[in-house]
Structure formats: structure tokens, C-alpha cells
A and B are shown apart, each in its own frame.
Chain A
């Protein structure tokens, strides 16, 4: 396979002071082509996404900005992001290098109203910084488009809380979303992710528990139909003691759909008392569904509690018989059971829209 490469040369951004453009390009090139990283592109073509990382972007539409606790600026990044990791996210790092501007959202205290971020196209990188003890509810919605990319970098200060709800439900030719979250001591992050397959849709999620006792929760429901595809790459890093993370990802893949899930948990040396859980369940329906799922664990410390599981299955025959024994026809029973499977992972402020889109009208309401 040919090397993965960036679409154009990089100017050294000021936030990476001390490195020349060539040095940065070399590092990115190496990271892109490391064997670990190539593995993340095993089931999805990287070219289309890489070709667009330097494409022009606009600011996303924001709603709920006029409230206490929020300061929003559109400008250049002036120092490196603590969560940035060339090795882990070279495409997103490159995107950040290319962007001449970023939307910077500073949360200084408890923000009473939700902040709504609406993407109608490729948008400028969004940086969300939560000060210690601050909190925010953030709603993120991606519309349909030909090709678009979004990247969000979140830094949670000590004891900060963020509830993030994200819907990517509309069709898109080529859609990539990158999300990077760093949690400092005692911080709490929750993501409710609702996603539909599209011609090509890729979600990279990188959660870094970088402070003691921080807590991250990822709950995701996805549905991939027809010739659509969805590729989810999740990395959770535990760098400090007593963090806990929990991932629950349910995907329905039907009728020629293709779904890839790669969930990696990395527990660093010294991160004792970590509790990390990952569950990925896939329900195949109809003909020719393709499901690739790979949970990965890398543990470099003792005294951790870690569980991971991935299942690929079809509708439970026991449950189907139970419903049918009550007079429910096989079609209705299957619809109820598949809805139930997804509904377990649909929650939060954007749940209603997601239910509507992923499940449609409930069979019995």
C-alpha cells in the first residue's frame, strides 16, 4: 500500500513554536504511516478524508452563546493543546496545523443553558476549555453535506463537567468527525453519540484521563443500512490513578451495510485503581451485513479492573418467540427487538431526534 500523505505542505503554526515546518511534516508523515495507525485505516479508505484535511472551513453555527460562563473567540491558537497527540491523531493534528483559525470556547463557570454547535459543512477546529469546577451541556449536530469534516478538542479542568450530545444522522458522501477530550483531576465527561451510516462516515474519539479520579462515559447508538458505512475508532487512555471509563456502543447493521468498531483501552504505568469497561454489541439484520469489531487492551499497571467485550449477533430467537407467543407477528417483533437494542444507547438532550431518525415511529406508542 502506498504511503498515506498530507494534501499540501504545512506552515509551522505558532502554537508549535520551536519546530520547523519540515520537522512537523516529518512527524506527521511518520505517525500516519506507523503500523499501529495504518491498522486504523484497515477497513476504510483514508485517501478521501486525508485529501480534505486542508479544505476550507467555516465557523460552525452556535446557539446559546449569550450566557454567563461562556466566552467565545474566533482566532488563532496561541499555545499547544494539552491533549494533542500526533501519534494518535495525525490527521486531526494536521487539520489543526492547516487551519488559520479556530473557534475557542472558554467555560469559566456553570453555564446554565446548553450550547448548541451546528455543522453544515466542514468547520474550523473547535477548542472547548472548561475551567476548574465549571460545567456545560453541549449539543452538536451535523447536517447532510457532500464532504465535511469536524474536529473538536476539549480540555476539562479539575472537577469540570461536560455533557456532550452528538447527532450525525443525515446522509453525507464523506464525513469525518474527530473528537479529543482530556480530563484533569476529578473531571467528568459524558458523550451520548447517535449516528447513522452514510456513504462514508468515520468517527475518531480519543479520550485521555489525565487526572486522578476522572470519569468518562461514552454511550453510542448507530444504524447502518443499505450500502452505507460507519467506522468508529475509539481510544481511551488512562494516564492517572483511579480513573473510570465506560463505553457502551450498540450498532445495527442491515442489508449490505458495513460497520467497523475499534475500541482500544490503554492503561499507562502508574494508573492504578483504574476501572475501564467497554462493551460493543452489533446486531446484524437482513442480508450481507459486514461487521468488523476489535476491542484492544493495553495494560501496563497492576491493580486495575478492566472488562471488554464485543458481540456480533442476530435477533434473539428466545425473545422473538416470547413476543410471538403473545400474538405479535414476526415482522413487528423483529422491529420491536431491534428498536429495543438501539434504544438502550439513546439518551440525553438529543435523544428524541435520534429516536425519530434511527428508530422511526415506535411500533407501539
Chain B
């Protein structure tokens, strides 16, 4: 059974001038253990795919389906999708002053555990785990007491996203341009985190502009998104070809 099955997905972004169609019949299947890279020019719909899958307000689904395991996603609230095992690593993680990272992570862990009928982790074990993960991603554990992403550099925010990925251990991770704004060291740290997360049970959708990230997170499939649908799929060699030739020959 596939982990994620997206079929003929049509979606619009809500603008002042009315709905603007972005996704125009996107079909994608992710099986357990697979990493799918999605590349494409600006405006092709990469981030819209991530946002529509996660349920971000401001988008409307005009047709098609997206099923995670056995559960249709598109009718669900964002928190219900997360409880089913969907995770979105944000392109622009949000700063929340006054809510500490630790409190945020605990609320998240507790919600997921409750939804799945599992026991909520005890605080000491939880804190130990979070500290270990933080230091494995070169995040100073002192950040846990600070507000969520408050005053973080771009790189720290992205590493925080990956820390949450490892902590929450979802079934499917959608990484929306997690490589943007990272220097090479941070990129390696982030990639190492994603590789640590990968297993034969879960899946990754990697949205990126650049081939560079794929040197560190080797995808099983590379798809080119153009004008709202996938126009070309291949293995990692497709990414190298795109790097050499650009997108023009495909679109």
C-alpha cells in the first residue's frame, strides 16, 4: 500500500482578485521508504503542494484526492492531518514569543500521543530526548527555554524544524525548501538529520530549487513540477540534468 497517494489534484490560492488556480492535475505516489524530490521553476506550484497537503488556510481544493495510508486528507483540519502522521517543515518557520520551545514541543508530543491513544511521555524522559536531539543538530539546548523560533537565525529555524521532525517521527515528511538560506555546514547538518529520520516505514517529499541538497539527501525519485502538474519524473540523474540544462527544455 502506498504511503501517500495524490491523484489529479487541483487547487487554487485565494487572492484579492479571487482564486488563482495553481495546481492543475497533480498526481504523485509515495511508497514507504521513498524520498521524492520535487523541483521546478518559481511559481510552478511546489510550495502550494506542501501547503495544500498540510491544510494551510488560504488555499482551496478544486478537485482530486490526497490519501495518507487509508485516510483521505483534504477534508481534515491541519491538526488532524498531523495526528495521522503528516509533517510539514516550514519554508518560513513562525516566531512565537512567550511560548517556549520546550512547551511547544511538549504540547505537540502530548497531542499526538493522545490522538493515537498512546501514553504521554513523562517529562524527564521527554526533556532528555529533546536535549539530545538539539545537540545532535548543533542547537544550543538553552534555546529550549526561549520563545519558539524567537530571534533564531535562518539556519537555526531550519534546524529546529528538523529537530521536530526527529522528535515527532511522522509517517510522511514534507520539507518545503528546507535548504533555502542555509550555508554549507548547516545544509549538511540538516541533511544528516533528514537521513537519520529516513526509514523503510516512512516517506519524504523534498521540495527544493537546487540540486545541491540532493548531494546530501539522495532521492529515489525526482519530479519536475511545471504549471501545476508533474511534467517529468526520473531518478537522481534528472536533477543533475536540470542543473546543467535548466528547466526550459521541459516546460
Contact = CB atoms under 8 A, between A and B. Distances in A.
Q: Do A and B come from one complex?
A: yes
Interface string B169-201: 000000000000000000000000000000000
Interface of A: 316-319, 321-330, 332-333, 336-337, 339-344, 362-365
Given A327-B115, A328-B108, A364 B79 contact: no
Chain B contact-residue range equals 20 to 34
Nearest to B149: A322
B79 A327 contact: yes
A321 B56 contact: yes
Interface of A is mostly: helix
B77 A324 contact: yes
B83 A318 contact: no
A363 B79 contact: no
Contact of B106 (A325, A337, A344, A364): A364
B104 A325 contact: no
Given A317-B57, A330-B77, A323 B104 contact: yes
Closest 3 CB pairs of A and B: A340-B98, A340-B99, A327-B82
Contacts of A328: 79, 107-108, 111
Contacts of B94: 316, 318-319, 321-322
Contact of B107 (A321, A332, A344): A332
B190 to A, nearest CB: 18
Contacts of B97: 340, 344
Interface of B: 54-57, 77-79, 81-83, 87-88, 90, 93-94, 96-99, 103-104, 106-108, 110-112, 115, 147-148, 164, 168
Contact of B112 (A327, A339, A343, A364): A327
B88 A364 contact: no
B107 A363 contact: yes
A95 B147 CA distance: 44
Contacts of B164: 326
A54 to B, nearest CB: 42
Contacts, number: 91
A21 B88 CA distance: 73
Nearest to B85: A327
A316 B148 CA distance: 14
Contacts of A330: 77, 79
A329 B96 contact: no
A322 B90 contact: yes
A324 B54 CA distance: 10
A149 B173 CA distance: 58
Given A339-B98, A340-B97, A325 B103 contact: no
Contact of B110 (A316, A342, A364): A364
Given A324-B77, A327-B112, A330-B79, A340 B96 contact: yes
B189 to A, nearest CB: 21
Contacts of B103: 336, 362-365
A343 B96 CA distance: 12
A248 to B, nearest CB: 11
